[in-house]
Amino acid sequence: MLCRILRKSDPESFVLYLWRNRPTIVIGRNQNPWKECNLKMMASRNVLLARRTSGGGSVYHDMGNSNYTVVMPREAFTRDKCAEMVSRALHHADIPAYVNERHDVTVEGRKISGSAFKLTNKRAFHHGTMLIDTDLGRLHGCLHSEAKDDIEALGVESVRSVVTNLREYSLSIDHLTFCQAVMREFGRTFGKLDVGRNVTVWDESDTDVVGMVEEERKRISTWKWLYGQTPRFVHRFGGVVGGKPVVAKVSVYHGHVTEVSLEYDAGQEDADDCGIFQMISDSLVDAPYVAADIRGCLGPISRESPAAAELCRWILEKIMEAASGDSA
């Protein structure tokens, strides 16, 4: 998240950043939150959404998960280098970790740490998670979208892995012991780390840094970045409304509806139906794909007729399964 500050570092340097945060689903740069997350559950459990600038799939963070970021010269980058470093750090804590073919750190075939990378002209970033004592129930719940199979999307789909916590293998490991082990191994891998000289401590009097963090925080918490950055997708759903089978198709680009198609199976629409379909489609185009906005658009149409009200109620219910996220 501190990409901008880290980017300002000496282009030849290796920087290690260790951190953790409150419950959040973090999706990859080119992912679809409607497809990857259970936005409804996240809203009810107060789990935040974040989008990385690095690639890869979705992960769940909470205070039981520690994150590491390494920034290095682009030429020094390989996908396994930092994962291997973290794996070696765990060996010192008596945890038999190894890196698998997906560049994840695993123990006994179960994933404990995911990797994601960002490559710029001169620099490369490696982001990694480490499940130490995470709420795995919440992890699974929040990473499962009810609309997953109904959404056809460009972009990157997460690969599901069996996960576990380090707690299964060590009673003593925690955020601090993990950080110390990684710092030691970082020093061994990339050159001696002189804590007295090489560690920068920032506090609130560093107005430059505080200002930059605030600016970056604002940018990455905008709707435009979290939802609007989503690659083009189509949400298809079907059901029975007023005794007739109906199929809906909503196309979304940059988080906004671009096209809506509604039809009864086997062309059972009459002129009234077509009129309502057209009104619904017209009202939804350009709306952000968020339940609250969709509800606002459909309100006036619901008052047209009982049939229209039933159709609108059904559409909203279906869209809420996928789109209970934050308003634009």
Residue 75 or 203: which CB sits closer to another protein?
A: 75
Instruction: State the nearest-atom distance from the C-beta of 28 to another protein, in Å.
Output: 7
Q: Report how far residue 17's alpha carbon sits from residue 235's, in angstroms, rounded to the nearest whole number.
A: 38
Instruction: State the nearest-atom distance from the C-beta of 231 to another protein, in Å.
Output: 7
C-beta of residue 97 within 8 angstroms of C-beta of residue 87: yes
Q: Report how far residue 126's alpha carbon sits from residue 117's, in angstroms, rounded to the nearest whole number.
A: 5
* Site of tokens 């069996």: 162
Instruction: State the nearest-atom distance from the C-beta of 119 to another protein, in Å.
Output: 4
Query: CA 139 → CA 14, 16, 241, distances in Å?
Result: 31, 26, 35
Residue 223 or 253: which CB sits closer to another protein?
A: 253
Task: State CA 318 to chain mean position distance.
Answer: 22
Residue 116 or 308: which CB sits closer to another protein?
A: 116
Residue 29, both tokens: 């740069």
C-beta of residue 254 within 8 angstroms of C-beta of residue 154: no
With CB under 8 A as the contact rule, the residue among 20, 79, 175, 295 that binds another protein is 79
Residues forming beta bridges with residue 245, ordered by sequence position = 240
* Mode of pairing for the β-strands spanning 15-19 and 24-27: unpaired
Residue 119 or 199: which CB sits closer to another protein?
A: 119
161 belongs to the binding site for another protein (CB under 8 A): no
Q: Per-residue x/- mask for another protein, residues 117 to 156, rule CB under 8 A?
A: xxxxx--------------------------------xxx
Query: CA 93 → CA 86, 130, 180, distances in Å?
Result: 11, 14, 11
Sign of the CA dihedral with 239 first, then 33, 291, and 270 last? negative
DSSP per-residue letters across 165-206? -GGGT-SS--HHHHHHHHHHHHHHHHS---HHHH-----TT-
Instruction: State the nearest-atom distance from the C-beta of 157 to another protein, in Å.
Output: 8
Q: Per-residue x/- mask for another protein, residues 17 to 36, rule CB under 8 A?
A: -----------xxx------
Instruction: State the nearest-atom distance from the C-beta of 113 to another protein, in Å.
Output: 13
* Site of tokens 């990797």: 115
3-state secondary structure of 127: strand
With CB under 8 A as the contact rule, the residue among 24, 55, 220, 234 that binds another protein is 55
With CB under 8 A as the contact rule, the residue among 1, 16, 37, 57 that binds another protein is 57
C-beta of residue 311 within 8 angstroms of C-beta of residue 276: yes
- Of residues 252-311, which lie at the interface with another protein (CB under 8 A)? none
Near another protein by CB under 8 A, which window of 110-118, 162-170, 265-273, 309-317? 110-118
**Count of residues interacting with another protein (CB under 8 A):** 22
Residue 57 or 288: which CB sits closer to another protein?
A: 57
With CB under 8 A as the contact rule, the residue among 56, 64, 288, 325 that binds another protein is 56
With CB under 8 A as the contact rule, the residue among 35, 61, 103, 318 that binds another protein is 103
Task: State CA 226 to chain mean position distance.
Answer: 8
Nearest to 269 by CA among 278, 282, 257, 260: 278
Instruction: State the nearest-atom distance from the C-beta of 251 to another protein, in Å.
Output: 14
Residue 55 or 187: which CB sits closer to another protein?
A: 55
Residue 10 or 75: which CB sits closer to another protein?
A: 75
Contact residues toward another protein (CB under 8 A) are 28-30, 53-57, 75, 79, 103, 115-121, 154-156, 231
